[in-house]
């Protein structure tokens, strides 16, 4: 597997501009001769499909949802970063770049991150022009707030529904292109394989979720904007439908998978309330702006929060990290919460949370101002827990939330399979070992609106124009393989539900490849996962048929892929024998209890090559060079 990141040979602050000039163009009249498939229509895929449609490409977009507006991007609450420096507090493109590389604990590619920081400016302009109703000050200018891992206010937001408003902006742009006839929208259509012809991605195989029809779709290039894989853990804040199938299928067809063990555990989620639960709920990190995190000093203290005086409370983030306080990056905030709960300081009926308290903010700002900032989040919390956060502190605990790992891509966002691109959370490019808050929306939109529409032209201009139809042997083989897998799932007719396997897999991963990882634990997981997979294929029960809307069958296919994918996650965590960002190996801890990196041996992206189900995958490296942000121990003290 060849890993050439194709980083343009220009100074970093001119690189994207010069690269745009160097790239080959497809002339406007020729663009309509090219077909591009976009899978996934969230922020990244929706923006990409809309913009490529505007440029004149023939776009075929696919989503398993009933409408592009349902994509999980819609659930992002807190905001989107941009180096606008509207607050005049010393922000700049360079500072956003610096913060993102440092926040990612030096495991991302400087060139990509710099471009992301640059494009952050255009995203806000674009979104406002589309009518995204960002929060504003009384003077009519845009408002900002601060987020974890940053000491400037650069986060733009639309109450607690920033993802929704940005997604609706992209959705509207997309529907405009559907109306214009440049984008053909395929809803309730799930991608189940990539078709590779002569080493190039030339199409996909989909299942129509209503009729069950499995068919091939061909194109000159394929773009995956299919999101992350947090649902490998079963319980996560991801929507129920989020899955690894598209990227895993691409991986099986030759696309390298980078850093699969870099999974982010978000510090502010509502703690689990019982075994029956299928999903956890995130409370925006923006709450950490005004909420103070604490636990009782005394382990096992069961008094109500209000009955515990300040002197008996441990505001542990403020104590340990005086300069960042409650706004430390997510990995640190999560790990510290876990330590508190593990050492008996947990609160709530199951003793599985820490407090996030707004008492002081309400005293300082008044209830109305707090409601203005967080009203809908407070309402959401109350509906779920039955407790009113204006009166009693919220209870929070970390939960799987975002995956920094994903398909390896070069500077042009192309995977190791020519013609196959990955954007948004589906790729690995910008967040290193830890993503900072309000950066996911930024990356999805930078990739979708501003990068892929240009870099795809650079690929197409050079790629041989081939006429490959759905009757090509590669397409027919892929359709047959997908059909066979589906028939095998239906034929098992065992006695256990799909969810029960998913739950069991999630427990293995949470215990051994979750917030704290050890060599022994990972080896145990690598033993248990193949056993579980074997049992799945013998005992799973998928009712119904393949020829109708069958939600059990959809889930079964996704869980079957998670059961293969989970192994490479553990291989990655095992072989990355260091701690960095969200990847915390207990063996590698500094004296202060922080993740201890090993830059000499691990300043690289680990890129995995598929060798067959159950076979040990091959690990490749992309060395990382830090020329602008000097390697240093992260400190948020």
Partner 1 sequence: MNLTLHVWRQAGPDDAGAFETYRAEDISDSMSFLDMLDLVNEDLTRKGKEPIAFEHDCREGICGSCGMMINGVAHGPERLITACQLHMRSFKDGDEIWIEPFRATAFPVMRDLVVDRNSFDRVIQAGGYISVRTGSAQDANATPIPKRDADRAFDAAACIGCGACVAACPNASAMLFTAAKVAHLSYLPQGQAERLERALGMASQHDAEGFGNCTNHGACQEACPKGISVDYIARLNRDVLKGTLNKAVGTPD
Nearer to partner 1, 385 or 483 (CB): 385
Q: Cα(537)–Cα(563) distance, rounded to whole angstroms? A: 10
Q: How far is the CB of 260 from partner 1 (least distance, A)?
A: 24
Name beta bridge partners: 142: 136
Residue 448 near residue 44 (C-beta atoms within 8 A): yes
Nearer to partner 1, 103 or 271 (CB): 271
- 3-state secondary structure at position 203: strand
Q: How far is the CB of 177 from partner 1 (least distance, A)?
A: 9
Nearer to partner 1, 231 or 403 (CB): 231
Token pair 């033993």 is at which residue?
Answer: 527
In 322-391, which residue ranges form alpha helices assigned H by DSSP? 330-340, 359-365, 367-385
Tokens found for residue 47: 């923006």
Nearest alpha-carbon partner for 226 in 428, 453, 45, 405: 45
Spatial CB neighbours of 129, under 8 Å, sequence gap ≥ 6: none
Nearer to partner 1, 140 or 623 (CB): 140
Nearer to partner 1, 144 or 416 (CB): 144
Which residue in the list 115, 200, 330, 597 is annotated as catalytic? Answer: 330
Nearer to partner 1, 551 or 632 (CB): 551
Q: Cα(511)–Cα(569) distance, rounded to whole angstroms? A: 13
Q: Cα(429)–Cα(115) distance, rounded to whole angstroms? A: 11
Provide long-range contacts, Cβ within 8 A and 24+ apart, for 126-135: 126/445, 126/449, 127/80, 127/165, 127/166, 127/169, 127/445, 130/169, 130/172, 130/173, 131/169, 131/172, 132/158, 132/165, 132/166, 132/168, 132/169, 133/158, 133/165, 134/158, 134/162, 134/165, 135/159
Q: Cα(290)–Cα(224) distance, rounded to whole angstroms? A: 37
Q: How far is the CB of 305 from partner 1 (least distance, A)?
A: 19
Q: How far is the CB of 205 from partner 1 (least distance, A)?
A: 23
- 3-state secondary structure at position 517: strand
Q: How far is the CB of 156 from partner 1 (least distance, A)?
A: 8
Q: Cα(281)–Cα(313) distance, rounded to whole angstroms? A: 26
Q: What is the DSSP letter of 531?
A: H
Q: Cα(438)–Cα(273) distance, rounded to whole angstroms? A: 27
Q: Cα(553)–Cα(300) distance, rounded to whole angstroms? A: 45
Nearer to partner 1, 551 or 590 (CB): 551
Q: How far is the CB of 383 from partner 1 (least distance, A)?
A: 5
Nearer to partner 1, 127 or 150 (CB): 127
Strand duo 80-81 + 155-156: pairing: antiparallel
Residue 68 near residue 59 (C-beta atoms within 8 A): no
Classify residue 424 as exposed, middle or buried by CB count within 10 Å of its CB (0-12, 13-18, 19+). buried
Tokens found for residue 310: 């300040």
Residue 417 near residue 254 (C-beta atoms within 8 A): yes
Q: How far is the CB of 191 from partner 1 (least distance, A)?
A: 17
- 3-state secondary structure at position 451: helix
**DSSP H/E element including 476:** helix 473-492
Active site residue 107: no
Nearest alpha-carbon partner for 206 in 245, 156, 163: 245
Q: How far is the CB of 540 from partner 1 (least distance, A)?
A: 10
Distance, CA of 249 to chain centre = 18
Nearer to partner 1, 397 or 636 (CB): 397
Q: Cα(162)–Cα(77) distance, rounded to whole angstroms? A: 5
Q: How far is the CB of 327 from partner 1 (least distance, A)?
A: 23
Nearer to partner 1, 77 or 100 (CB): 77
Q: How far is the CB of 515 from partner 1 (least distance, A)?
A: 22
Nearer to partner 1, 164 or 434 (CB): 164
* Residues annotated as catalytic (active site), given as ranges: 330
């Amino acid at each position: 597997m060849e890993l050439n990141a194709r980083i343009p040979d220009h100074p970093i602050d001119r690189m994207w501009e010069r690269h745009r000039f160097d790239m080959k163009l497809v002339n406007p009249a020729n663009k309509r001769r090219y077909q591009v498939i976009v899978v996934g229509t969230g922020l990244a895929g929706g923006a990409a499909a809309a913009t490529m449609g505007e440029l004149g490409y023939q776009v075929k977009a696919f989503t398993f949802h009933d409408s592009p507006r349902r994509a999980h991007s819609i659930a992002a609450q807190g905001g989107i970063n941009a180096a606008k420096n509207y607050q005049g507090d010393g922000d700049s493109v360079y500072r956003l770049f610096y913060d993102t590389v440092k926040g990612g604990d030096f495991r991302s590619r400087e060139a990509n991150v710099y471009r992301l920081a640059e494009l952050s400016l255009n995203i806000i302009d674009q979104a406002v022009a589309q009518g995204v109703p960002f929060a504003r000050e009384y003077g009519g200018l845009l408002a900002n707030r601060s987020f974890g891992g940053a000491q400037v206010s650069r986060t733009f937001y639309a109450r607690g529904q920033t993802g929704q408003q940005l997604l609706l902006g992209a959705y509207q742009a997309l529907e405009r292109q559907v109306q214009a006839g440049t984008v053909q929208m395929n809803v309730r259509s799930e991608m189940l394989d990539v078709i590779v012809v002569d080493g190039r991605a030339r199409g996909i195989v989909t299942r129509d979720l209503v009729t069950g029809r499995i068919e091939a779709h061909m194109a000159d290039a394929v773009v995956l904007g299919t999101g992350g894989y947090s649902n490998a853990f079963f319980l996560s804040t991801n929507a129920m439908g989020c899955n690894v199938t598209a990227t895993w299928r691409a991986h099986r067809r030759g696309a390298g998978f980078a850093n699969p063990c870099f999974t982010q555990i978000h510090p502010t989620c509502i703690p689990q309330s019982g075994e029956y639960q299928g999903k956890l709920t995130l409370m925006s990190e923006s709450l950490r702006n005004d909420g103070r995190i604490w636990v009782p000093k005394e382990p096992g203290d069961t008094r109500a929060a209000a009955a515990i005086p300040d002197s008996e409370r441990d505001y542990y983030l403020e104590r340990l990290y005086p300069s960042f306080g409650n706004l430390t990056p997510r990995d640190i905030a999560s790990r510290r919460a876990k330590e508190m709960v593990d050492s008996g300081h947990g609160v709530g009926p199951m003793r599985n949370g820490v407090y996030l308290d707004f008492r002081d903010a309400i005293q300082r700002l008044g209830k109305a101002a707090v409601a203005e900032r967080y009203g809908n989040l407070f309402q959401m919390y109350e509906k779920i827990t039955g407790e009113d956060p204006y009166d009693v502190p919220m209870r929070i605990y970390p939960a799987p939330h975002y995956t920094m790992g994903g398909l390896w891509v070069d500077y042009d966002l192309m995977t190791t399979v020519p013609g196959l691109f990955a954007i948004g959370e589906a790729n690995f490019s910008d967040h290193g070992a830890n993503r900072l808050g309000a950066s996911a929306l930024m990356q999805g939109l930078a990739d979708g609106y501003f990068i892929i529409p240009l870099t795809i032209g650079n690929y197409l201009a050079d790629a041989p124009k081939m006429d490959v139809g759905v009757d090509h042997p590669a397409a027919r083989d892929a359709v047959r393989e997908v059909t066979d897998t589906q028939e095998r799932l239906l034929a098992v007719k065992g006695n256990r539900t799909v969810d029960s396997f998913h739950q069991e897999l999630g427990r293995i991963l949470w215990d051994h490849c979750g917030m704290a990882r050890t060599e022994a634990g990972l080896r145990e997981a690598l033993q248990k996962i193949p056993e579980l997979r074997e049992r799945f294929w013998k005992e799973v029960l998928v009712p119904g048929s393949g020829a109708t809307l069958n939600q059990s069958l959809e889930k079964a296919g996704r869980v079957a892929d998670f059961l293969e994918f989970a192994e490479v996650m553990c291989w990655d965590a095992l072989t990355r024998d260091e701690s960095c960002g969200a990847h915390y190996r207990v063996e590698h801890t500094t004296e202060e209890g922080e993740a201890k990196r090993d830059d000499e041996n691990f300043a690289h992206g680990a890129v995995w090559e598929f060798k067959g189900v159950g076979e040990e995958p091959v690990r490749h490296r992309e060395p990382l060079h830090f020329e602008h942000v000097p390697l240093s121990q992260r400190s948020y003290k």
